[in-house]
Structure 1
């Protein structure tokens, strides 16, 4: 093709047809420009197609992460509900019956449960969103959905940080109380030790222990109440984000 054009140019020059040569040269330039534009357009189409495929792949991965998070959060809500059921039972028992300080302390111990701490120290599935941010591919996502994703991650991280920090505070305070008074199985462990029994039979010691446990119980209930409220808000965000992502995938 290049040889063909060169041949035409030489022929025009040899015949001294300068005007035709100039017109031909301009036409050739226009053809070259058109060819470049077409090549650029094709390249843009290919880039857009690849970006669209990457974007949809991210949508699918994010949806999978959201599904797992929603299940985990709903499980957390079930655990929290069970805590408040036990709390209500303890409070009813305390109001209606005359319990000794140590019996009341033992009942408080039944309200606490390791499963609550486990349910609220969860690690969410943020790998896909983190990858989007770190690679810069977040810019491929439409602004409205991108803002929803980033807002969700911000709230999610805030909930994780809040629950972890509060659990550490409660755990540390609980350790101090346990070191001073032992656990709910203390009466069984001390056995027939008169001096120890006498110490723990002192009403002042028993009352102090009960009040400290009540304080821990209050802090735990506040943590779980606030956590559940924020958890429910996140579940609503998940459902809205899932709907938006499904709509994008269907386009």
Structure 2
């Protein structure tokens, strides 16, 4: 094909037909440009198809990861509802007479109140997307926004956890250490002590103490604050799952 074009050019030059040669040269340039544009178009189309396939894989992996996070979060929320209810029940018993207190297992209530733990979702897929720069392959603006919100709400959850843990370790536990039997309380936890404390502490006095009421109230606030952070995460997960379910086969 190249030899064919060269032959035409040579013939036009020899015949001194400059105007026709000029038109031919321009036409040849146009053909070359068109060829380049077509090649670029094909290359762009191929890259677009590759990116679309990779995006579908990303959506599938995100959907799988956040479904697991959603299941784990549901379990954690259910446990925190129990923690909060036990804390509120304990708070309502403060100031009651000895007979009323004896109708409740206060050590068990306190044990469930302070048996909190942190929710730790997996972020392997999202972390890989951010570190590799592949987050830009996600076409949906709303999905990218929800993923950024997830990171923001996760930071809020960490702050709520720090508040809860700091108060429990620096206020609640020191108070219980001085005024209650941790052995009796821990017998309803994973330590599962079979015999109660031989010191036979009188918890009635503790339930008449304003400091204990304030500690329980603060603990209830910290648990509820953490629960609200979990609900923000849950709402964001649901939005992410809706977006990542739009997977084309």
TM-score (norm 1): 0.78
Q: Is 1:131 matched with 2:128?
A: yes
Contact 1:90/1:108 (CA < 8 Å) preserved in 2? no
If asked which structure has higher relative contact order (CA below 8 Å, sep 6+), I would say 2
Q: Tell me the equivalent position of 1:158.
A: 156
Call closer, same or farther: CA 1:58–1:157 in 2, change over 3 Å: farther
Call closer, same or farther: CA 1:68–1:209 in 2, change over 3 Å: farther
What does 1:6-45 correspond to in 2, within 5 Å? 6-45=6-45
What does 1:6-85 correspond to in 2, within 5 Å? 6-85=6-85
CA distance in 2, matches of 1:35, 1:115: 73
Q: Tell me the equivalent position of 2:220.
A: 221
Q: Tell me the equivalent position of 1:170.
A: 168
1:2 Cα offset (Å): 1.8
CA distance in 1, matches of 2:91, 2:155: 33
TM-score (norm 2): 0.78
Deviations 1:208-234 (A, max 9, x none): 995554444323211221222232232
Contact 1:108/1:217 (CA < 8 Å) preserved in 2? no
For structure 1, which runs of at least 5 residues remain unmatched after alignment?
192-196
Which is helix-richer, 1 or 2?
Answer: 1
1:7 Cα offset (Å): 1.9
Say what the alpha-carbon RMSD is for the aligned residues.
3.4
For structure 2, which runs of at least 5 residues remain unmatched after alignment?
185-194
Deviations 1:9-59 (A, max 9, x none): 112212222122111111110010000000111111111111112222111
1:91 Cα offset (Å): 4.5
